[in-house]
């Protein structure tokens, strides 16, 4: 539900006319209903999470929402304004392009790092934290148990890498 809500909001922010060759929700229903639909899904998600009664899972899923917003802000923010500074805009075109998939001629450490960071916030965070939450809900909850912690870490890494691979491909 968090993913669908983020897609509804994302299509409004991007002014997308289509999603997967079909009319986007904003194109079909307008921006207001799309935003309200996304907000409704986030509200229902919060209610469902609270019923689970697991604080770690609630925290993981809540931080996904914050990460999605941070990734969207990164994508919208002009180059040179990262971390709130209005510093040097020199080279801004390469950093701005880093928010899209970099091409071979645009590759640099800065471009790649920015692209991966944005990809984590916009996609991989959802997969990583959902995978970790699944392991917690599956019973890996013993405090201080190194096996449980390792299982959660492996699930998180798997989700993170899968999410980044999805964006890069």
Q: Where are the domains of the chain?
A: 1-52, 54-169
Q: Which residues contact 70 (CB under 8 A, 6 or more apart)?
A: 121
For residue 5, what pLDDT is reported? 96
How does DSSP classify residue 84? G
Note the pLDDT of residue 92.
Answer: 43
- Please classify residue 16 by burial: count the beta carbons closer than 10 Å to its beta carbon, then call 0-12 exposed, 13-18 middle and 19+ buried: middle
C-alpha to C-alpha distances, 151 to 115, 125, 131, 133, 142, nearest whole angstrom: 28, 17, 10, 11, 11
pTM over 0.85, yes/no: no
Confidence (pLDDT) at 101: 64
Is there a contact between 34 and 25 (Cβ–Cβ < 8 Å)? yes
Tens-place pLDDT, residues 20-66: 999 999 999 999 999 999 999 999 999 999 999 899 999 999 999 99
Structure tokens at 19: 């999603």
pLDDT on residue 87: 38
Q: Which of 121, 75, 120, 76 is nearest to 99 (CA)?
A: 75
**Residue 93 confidence (pLDDT) above 50:** no
Burial of 111-139, coded b for 16+ CB within 10 Å and e otherwise, reads: beebbbbbbbbbbbbbbbbbbbbebbeee
Q: Band of the pLDDT at 95, cuts 50, 70, 90?
A: very low
**For 112-165, how does the pLDDT look when each residue is reduced to its tens digit (9 = 90+)?**
888 899 999 999 999 999 999 999 999 998 888 999 999 999 999 999 999 999
Give the model's pLDDT for residue 76. Answer: 84
């Amino acid at each position: 539900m968090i993913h669908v809500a983020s897609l509804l909001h994302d299509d409004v922010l991007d002014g997308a006319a289509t999603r997967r060759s079909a009319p986007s929700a904003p194109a079909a229903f307008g921006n207001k209903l799309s935003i309200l639909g996304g907000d409704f899904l986030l509200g229902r998600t919060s209610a469902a999470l609270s019923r689970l009664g697991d604080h770690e899972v609630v925290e993981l899923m809540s931080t996904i929402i914050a990460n999605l917003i941070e990734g969207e802000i990164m994508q919208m923010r002009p180059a040179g304004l990262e971390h709130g500074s209005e510093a040097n805009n020199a080279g801004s075109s390469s950093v701005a392009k880093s928010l899209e998939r970099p091409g071979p001629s645009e590759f640099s450490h800065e471009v790649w790092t920015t692209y991966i960071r944005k990809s984590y916030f916009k996609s991989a965070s959802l997969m990583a934290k959902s995978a970790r939450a699944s392991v917690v809900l599956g019973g890996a909850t013993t405090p201080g148990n190194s096996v449980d912690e390792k299982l959660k870490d492996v699930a998180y890494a798997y989700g993170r890498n899968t999410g980044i691979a999805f964006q890069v491909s």
